[in-house]
Structure 1
Amino acid sequence: MSFKSILQDMKGEFGSISRKGFDVKFGYGMRSRSHRVVQDTSFRIDALKQSCWANMPPELLRDVLMRIEASDDTWPPRKNVVACAGVCKNWREIMKEIVKSLEVSGKLTFPISLKQPGPRDSLLQCYIKRRRSNQTYYLFLGLNQASTDDGKFLLAARKCRRPTCTDYIISLNSEDVSKGNSAFVGKLRSNFLGTKFTIYDAQPTNTGAKVTKCHSSRLVNMKQVSPRVPAGNYPVAHIAYELNVLGSRGPRRMQCVMDAIPARAVEPGGVAPTQTEFVDSNLDSIPSLPFIRSKSGHAESVQSGLQSSQNEGILVLRNKAPRWHEQLQCWCLNFNGRVTVASVKNFQLVASPENGVAAGPEHENVILQFGKVGKDVFTMDYQYPISAFQAFAICLSSFDTKIACE
């Protein structure tokens, strides 16, 4: 029996159960409508227990789900894996055990995969589409130059200008990119000059994560506040662009301090924090809401992150220095064919030599590369130990206008 027929069978079986429950709830077929009728919940529970899918032997069910997971390697067929996890709690728990983390499998399956470190041995190829009309950016998985398909949607970001800074709201929802939506996963904030940025995660990266004072935690002017949206902002990385007012120092120079990733993560056998599920959070569980933001809080957090990175053993990424090409009369980097248009936004990030990684160019392992391939299309390739969310936020910093860097 094919998987499609299995899903159709399940849909019909569960559909008939729900229709029967609906009839009982609203009293269809009863003699009088003057009496209030309460749904008989025991009927629905008994019907579900009698379902052939609920009574399937665990060994057989696991074998079927393992075959589905192994056969559907890429999207869109991989949506069958997600569909199986949504059938019931039993199926979901089995699928969570079968589907390996992104580091091991190299497959983006569930939304939590976007918060997990990328594969170790290869770059995961993604691309970003920019929509200038509404200052929105969309992250997709893969890029086939010969295809017109957008690919698998991953994340969306919307640019919000403020008097003293710029915010990029990052969401799992491509239609409603706002902090009040339950799909809100984090944001990127810049200073006035666009030279320093802080990446905030809506979810705590570890049990000891501390919420920072940030006015985006206010619960005002929001269309919708979901109880699953944490009230705080957890800084996970700081980005700094070197000042270059006169343009005499060549291309941009940037440095990223990954607060949530230890420096030893890039070494053989090194481990980076890996989230396995989204933390359920509600407003009542937050000990204190930071309604007031210090004017110098952002600048201080960026400066302290850059200064304390060496003492705490935090991973530091720097952009790979391009080489001047005499014939082309321009600065060049080897993107292995993934970048086709020259742009000041193009960069490659490698582990800083202070982390104990060999400083020779032939030994530098590119962790994140970003470059232009069209008017509003950019490639984004990343790997362990950073996640898709972190890589996307770093790339968004390259889009921002930098008064003192050009």
Structure 2
Amino acid sequence: MTVAQDTEKPTALLNASVPLEEVAQFRVARTRLQGNNIVYDLLAENNGAMDSAAGLWNMRAIKTSSLAKPTYDIFPRNDNSSSSLRTSYSAPVGRVVSNALGTEFSILACPSNDTVEWTEVCIVLYKINILGRHGPRKMTAVIRAVNESGQHFVDSTGDASVSLAEKYHRLARRNVMTDESGSIIVLENKLPKWNTNSRSYTLDFHGRVTVSSSKNFQLINLDDDEYVVVQFGKVGDDTYSLDFRFPMSPVMAFGIVLTSLVRKLACA
């Protein structure tokens, strides 16, 4: 990504939206450690290969809570080791909090290095689908709107203190998915189509995804289903590809991916 790189302020860098005309490409690697610990690493790509040397963009997610309310903290990572829970930074730049069923997630960001003040920037909702009986997963992501410069929309309607979940449910109750105030953006996963030859549900990932998985997804704006905002899918036993574009930030995109990867009790 050709963004001004401020190595002294990784928090602001990783929470900044991708420039309008760019597509960020990453790999996500899952590492199983002793004691049933799992860490997820976001690694910048270089010509389609993992490139841990581009450390400004790399991050690591570590589970930090109990089963009752699973939480993953996201840290900057500028080392080349995937065999340890340790990172070079003590403070997280992002956080993903789940409900007990794994159907509702809140993604929090800390937009400044100077203070630890969490801001909810995205929620992800999964439709309950035990054992996958109702077909492929259905997910919705609701994010705070940003302008072309990547600055968050200032809500002038008096609803600035209203949560993303409440704003979304207000729209859902009216059976509309376009927010008239422009303060939120609603994204939904592009539904895969049934392929009679392979007898499976398929999406066109344009060669970026090579292994079928219920965790694979493409997030789109319903007003333009050709504009894929986030694309994620499996390429190996413990490796996934991740592409994202404006208005996503690295922290937000990684957080959405974590919601797909973690264990869910009420969604296959």
- TM-score band by shorter chain is 0.7 to 0.9
Please say if 1:327 is aligned against 2:204.
no
185 and 149 in structure 1: CA distance in 2 versus 1, 3 angstrom threshold: closer
Question: 2:142 aligned with 1:257, yes or no?
Answer: yes
Q: Between Structure 1 and Structure 2, which shows a larger proportion of helix residues?
A: 1
Shift of residue 378, structure 1, vs aligned partner: 0.7
Indicate the RMSD between aligned Cα atoms, in angstroms.
2.6
Q: 1:127 to 1:202 in 2, by over 3 A?
A: same
Query: C-alpha offsets along residues 174-204 of structure 1, whole Å, 9 cap, x if unaligned?
Result: 66359xx554212000000000000111226
Tell me if 1:152 matches 2:54.
Answer: yes
The structure richer in strand per residue is 2
Measured after TM superposition, the shift of residue 116 of structure 1 is 1.6
Q: For residue 119 of structure 1, report the CA deviation from its aligned partner.
A: 3.1
Contact persistence 1:136–1:156 (CA under 8 A): yes
Q: In 2, distance between residues paired with 1:189 and 1:177?
A: 20
CA contact (8 A) 1:126 1:140 kept: yes
The residue aligned with 2:19 is 119
Supply the distance in 2 between the matched residues of 1:303 and 1:109 (Cα, whole angstroms): 33
Tell me which of 220, 240, 264 is aligned to 1:402.
264
Residue in structure 1 matching 2:121, options 236, 260, 263: 236
**Cα distance in 1 between the residues matched to 2:100 and 2:163:** 15
What is the CA deviation profile of residues 64-99 of structure 1, one whole-angstrom value per residue up to 9, with x for unaligned ones?
xxxxxxxxxxxxxxxxxxxxxxxxxxxxxxxxxxxx
Partner residue of 1:189? Answer: 97
**2:210 pairs with 1:340:** yes
Residues 242 and 185 of structure 1: is their aligned pair in 2 closer, same or farther, counting only changes over 3 Å?
A: same
* 2:17–2:247 Cα contact (<8 Å) kept: yes
How many equivalent residue pairs? Answer: 236
Residue in structure 2 matching 1:140, options 43, 52, 58: 43
Matched letter for residue 256 of structure 2: I
CA gap of 1:185–1:261, structure 2 versus 1, over 3 A, is same
1:378 corresponds to: 240
TM-score (norm 1): 0.53
Q: Is the 8 A contact 1:255 1:316 kept in 2?
A: yes
SS at match of 1:184: coil
Q: Give the letter for the 2:97 counterpart.
A: R
CA contact (8 A) 2:189 2:218 kept: yes
CA shift for structure 1 position 305: 4.2
* AA aligned opposite 1:191: N
Q: Which has the higher contact order (CA 8 A, sep 6+)?
A: 2
TM-score, scaled relative to structure 2: 0.78
Q: Supply the distance in 2 between the matched residues of 1:125 and 1:341 (Cα, whole angstroms).
A: 18
CA deviation string 1:320-339 (max 9, x = no partner): 11111111111111111111
Map of 1:3-402 to 2, 5 A cutoff? 106-107=2-3, 109-110=5-6, 111=10, 112-133=12-33, 134-142=37-45, 144=47, 150-153=52-55, 154-173=58-77, 176=86, 182-203=90-111, 228-230=114-116, 232-245=117-130, 247-258=132-143, 260-262=144-146, 270=148, 272-273=150-151, 301=163, 303-308=165-170, 310=179, 312-313=181-182, 314-351=184-221, 353=222, 357-358=223-224, 361=225, 364-402=226-264
**Is 2:44–2:50's contact at 8 Å kept on the other side of the alignment?**
no
The 8 Å contact of residues 64 and 72 in structure 2, kept in 1 or not, is answered as yes
Report the counterpart of residue 54 of structure 1 in structure 2. none
Q: Offset at 1:243?
A: 1.0
In structure 2, list runs of 5 or more residues that go unmatched: 80-84, 153-161, 172-178
Kept in 1, the 8 Å contact 2:44–2:51? The answer is no
Tell me, what secondary structure is at the counterpart of 2:61?
strand
Contact 2:15 2:109 (8 Å CA) reproduced: no
Q: Residue 257 of structure 2: SS of its match in structure 1?
A: helix
Task: Report the 3-state secondary structure (helix = DSSP H, G, I; strand = E; otherwise coil) of the residue aligned with 1:162.
Answer: coil
**Closer/same/farther in 2, CA of residues 252 and 109 from structure 1, 3 Å limit:** same
The aligned residue for residue 287 of structure 1 is: none
Question: Where do 5+ consecutive residues of structure 1 fail to align?
Answer: 1-101, 205-226, 275-299
Aligned mates of 1:166, 1:312 — CA distance in 2: 32
Distance verdict in 2 for CA 1:121–1:136, change over 3 Å: same
Report % sequence identity. Answer: 33
Residues 1:272 and 1:119: Cα distance change in structure 2 (over 3 Å) = closer
Q: 1:170 touches 1:177 (CA, 8 Å); kept in 2?
A: no
Larger Rg: 1
Using the alignment, how far apart are the partners of 1:305 and 1:397 within structure 2? 20
